[in-house]
C-alpha cells in the first residue's frame, strides 16, 4: 500500500473524530446553556416571591399598619401571651429579628416592639406558652391600642396564614464546659482497676 493511502485513512479518521468531538461539544454547551437559563428563571421567581414578603419591615408596619393592610409579611419573635377570643386566638409576640433560616434571634434587646398575631381557626393557647419562639407568615390586618403596664400601646395586628413553632430543644444550647463527672471513672468513689478491697 502506498503511503498516500495511509495518510488518507488517518486524515479521514481524524476528521471523523473532530466532527464527533465538535458535535459532542455543541451538545454539552447547549445543555449547559439550557440549565443556566432554567436556573436563572427559578432564582428570579424565588427572589421575586421573597422580595414581596420582605419588602415591608416591622418598623414600617408598626408606623403605618393601616396603609399596609393586606400586605404579606414574615415576622418572628417570642410569645408573651396567648388568649382565646370569640373570633380566634390572639397571640402577643415580642418581635425579634429573623436569621437566614427564618428563626427568631435570642437577643431580646434587638426587639423593635410587640405585635399581635390572630389565628381565625381554633388554636389552643396552651400550645403556645410564654417564651415559645415562632415565625408568623401572614397579612397586615390593622392595629389596636391596648393597655401595657401604665400606658397604652399600639399593636400591629397580623392575620396568621402560616405559623411555625420552633421546638424548645432547639432553644437550649448544649453545655460543653468542664464537669466533675467527666470521664468514665470520675467520681467521689473512683479507684483504679482492679476493684479489690
Low-confidence stretches of the chain (pLDDT < 70) are: 1-2, 4-7, 9-54, 169-197
What the block records as the C-alpha cell of 192 is: 483504679
- pLDDT at residue 39, rounded to an integer: 61
Q: Whole-model pTM above 0.75?
A: no
How many angstroms separate the CA atoms of 15 and 21, rounded? Answer: 10
Residue 82: per-residue pLDDT = 94
- Residue 33 is predicted with a pLDDT of 59
How far apart are alpha carbons 92 and 113 in whole angstroms?
11
Q: Which pLDDT does position 67 carry in this prediction?
A: 84
Residues 6+ apart with CB under 8 A from 56: 68, 71, 72, 73, 140
pLDDT at 48: 40
Among the CATH numbers 1.10.520.20, 1.10.3720.10, 1.25.40.10, 2.40.50.140, which is that of 58-169? 2.40.50.140
- CA-CA distance, 139 to 70, in Å (whole number)? 5
Task: Say how far apart CA 64 and CA 180 lie, in whole Å.
Answer: 56
pLDDT of residue 54: 52
Give pLDDT, residue 9: 66
Q: What is the pLDDT, as a whole number, of residue 119?
A: 93
- Cell output for 54: 420582605
What is the pLDDT, as a whole number, of residue 11? Answer: 61
Domain ranges of the chain: 1-55, 58-169
Cell of 124: 389552643
Please report where in the chains the cell 424548645 appears, as a residue. Answer: 168
Amino acid at each position: 500500500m502506498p503511503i498516500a493511502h495511509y495518510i488518507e485513512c488517518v486524515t479521514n479518521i481524524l476528521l471523523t473524530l473532530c466532527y464527533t468531538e465538535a458535535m459532542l461539544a455543541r451538545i454539552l454547551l447547549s445543555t449547559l446553556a439550557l440549565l443556566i437559563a432554567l436556573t436563572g428563571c427559578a432564582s428570579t421567581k424565588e427572589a421575586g416571591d421573597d422580595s414581596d414578603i420582605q419588602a415591608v419591615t416591622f418598623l414600617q408596619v408598626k408606623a403605618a399598619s393601616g396603609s399596609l393592610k393586606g400586605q404579606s409579611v414574615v415576622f418572628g419573635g417570642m410569645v408573651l401571651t396567648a388568649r382565646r377570643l370569640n373570633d380566634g386566638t390572639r397571640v402577643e409576640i415580642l418581635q425579634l429579628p429573623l436569621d437566614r433560616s427564618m428563626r427568631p434571634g435570642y437577643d431580646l434587646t434587638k426587639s423593635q416592639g410587640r405585635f399581635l398575631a390572630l389565628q381565625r381557626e381554633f388554636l389552643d393557647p396552651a400550645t403556645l406558652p410564654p417564651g415559645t419562639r415562632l415565625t408568623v407568615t401572614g397579612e397586615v390586618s390593622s392595629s389596636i391600642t391596648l393597655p401595657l403596664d401604665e400606658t397604652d400601646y399600639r399593636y400591629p395586628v397580623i392575620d396568621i396564614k402560616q405559623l411555625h413553632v420552633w421546638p424548645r430543644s432547639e432553644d437550649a444550647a448544649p453545655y460543653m464546659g468542664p464537669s466533675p463527672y467527666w470521664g468514665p471513672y470520675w467520681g467521689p468513689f473512683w479507684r483504679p482497676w482492679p476493684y479489690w478491697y
